[in-house]
Chains A and B, each alone.
Chain A
Amino acid sequence: MGYQLSMRLWRGDREGGALQDFAVEVEEGEVVLDAIHRVQATQAGDLAVRWNCKAGKCGSCSAEINGRSRLMCMTRLSDFGPQDVITVTPLRAFPVVRDLVTDVSYNYAKARELPAFAPTPPDADGKRRMMQADVERGQEFRKCIECFLCQNTCHVIRDHEENKPAFAGPRFFLRYAELDMHPLDTHDRRELAQSAAGIGLCNITKCCTEVCPENIKITDNAIIPMKERVVDRKYDPLVWLGSKIRRRDDRTEL
Chain B
Amino acid sequence: MSSTELETHTYDVVVVGAGGAGLRAAIAAHEAGARTAIVCKSLLGKAHTVMAEGGIAAAMGNVYPDDNWRVHFRDTMRGGKMLNHWRMAQLHAQEAADRVLELEEWGALFDRTPDGLISQRDFGGHRFARLAHVGDRTGLEMIRTLQQRAVALDIDVFMECTVTELLHDTDHDGVQRISGAFAYWRESGRFLVFEAPAVVLATGGIGKSYQVTSNSWEYTGDGHALALRSGASLVNMEFVQFHPTGMVWPPSVRGILVTESVRGDGGVLRNSEGKRFMFDYIPEFFKGETADSEEEADRWYEDKKNNRRPPELLPRDEVARAINSEVKAGRGSPHGGIFLDIASRRDAAFIQRRLPSMYHQFKELADVDITAEPMEIGPTCHYVMGGVEVDPDTGGSVVPGLYAAGEVAGGMHGSNRLGGNSLSDLLVFGRRAGASAAEFATKLEQGRPQIASQSVQDASEAAVAPFALDGGENPYTLQRELQQVMQDLVGIIRTEAELTESLRRLADLKRRAGELSVEGHRQYNPGWHLSLDLPNMLMVSECIAMAALERTESRGGHTREDFPASDDSWGGSNLVLTADPTGGLSLKRQDLPQMPDELRELFEVK
> What is A's interface to B at a CB cutoff of 8 Å?
13, 27-31, 34, 40-42, 44-60, 74, 76, 97-99, 101, 103-104, 108, 111-112, 116-117, 119, 122, 126-132, 135, 138-139, 142-146, 179, 182
Contact = CB atoms under 8 A, between A and B. Distances in A.
A45 B43 contact: no
Closest 5 CB pairs of A and B: A29-B250, A46-B520, A45-B527, A129-B116, A117-B107
Interface string B244-270: 000001111100110000000000000
Contacts of B525: 45-46, 48
B528 A60 contact: no
Contact of B527 (A34, A40, A76, A182): A40
B477 A41 contact: yes
Interface in B357-399: 357, 360-361, 364-366
B112 A27 contact: no
Contact of A129 (B115, B216, B357, B521): B115
A48 B188 CA distance: 12
B33 interface: no
Nearest to A45: B527
B523 interface: yes
Contact of B518 (A45, A108, A117, A126): A45
A68 to B, nearest CB: 15
B54 to A, nearest CB: 13
B101 A97 contact: no
Interface string B236-250: 000000000000011
Contacts of B48: 52-53
16 contacts: A29-B251, A29-B252, A30-B250, A40-B476, A48-B523, A48-B524, A53-B216, A57-B137, A57-B140, A104-B43, A117-B148, A119-B105, A119-B107, A132-B112, A135-B111, A143-B140
A129 B118 CA distance: 8
Given A29-B251, A48-B526, A52-B42, A74 B364 contact: yes
Interface SS, A side: loop
A45 to B, nearest CB: 3
Interface string B117-138: 1110000000000000011010
Contacts of A130: 109, 112, 116
B265 to A, nearest CB: 16
A59 B253 CA distance: 16
A42 B446 CA distance: 52
Contact of B521 (A46, A47, A117, A126): A46
A144 B50 CA distance: 11
Given A28-B250, A40-B526, A55 B104 contact: no
Interface residues of B, number: 70
Interface string B127-171: 000000011010011001000110110100001000000000000
Contacts, number: 176
Nearest to B147: A111
A122 B101 contact: yes
B276 to A, nearest CB: 28
A47 B526 contact: yes
Contacts of B475: 45
Interface of B: 42-48, 50-51, 60, 62, 101, 104-107, 109-112, 114-119, 134-135, 137, 140-141, 144, 148-149, 151-152, 154, 159, 187, 216-218, 249-253, 256-257, 357, 360-361, 364-366, 474-477, 480, 518-521, 523-528
A119 B46 CA distance: 26
A46 B109 contact: no
B151 A54 contact: no
A58 B148 contact: no
Nearest to A127: B117
B23 to A, nearest CB: 14
Nearest to B160: A50
Contact of A98 (B135, B151, B364, B523): B523
A5 B105 CA distance: 50
A15 to B, nearest CB: 11
A34 B44 contact: no
Contacts of A13: 523
A128 B104 CA distance: 8
Given A57-B51, A98-B523, A45 B42 contact: no
Contacts of A182: 107, 109
Nearest to A55: B256
Contacts of A48: 523-526
A112 B151 contact: yes
B361 A56 contact: yes
Contacts of B60: 127
B524 A142 contact: no
Looking at A13, A46, A56, A99, which has the most chain B CB atoms within 10 Å of its CB? Answer: A46
B586 to A, nearest CB: 34
A239 B521 CA distance: 61
Given A30-B250, A103-B187, A116-B152, 14 more contacts: A29-B250, A29-B253, A40-B527, A45-B475, A45-B520, A46-B518, A53-B51, A56-B364, A99-B524, A108-B159, A119-B107, A128-B104, A132-B112, A142-B144
A50 B256 contact: no
Nearest to B214: A55
A51 B217 contact: yes
A42 B475 CA distance: 10
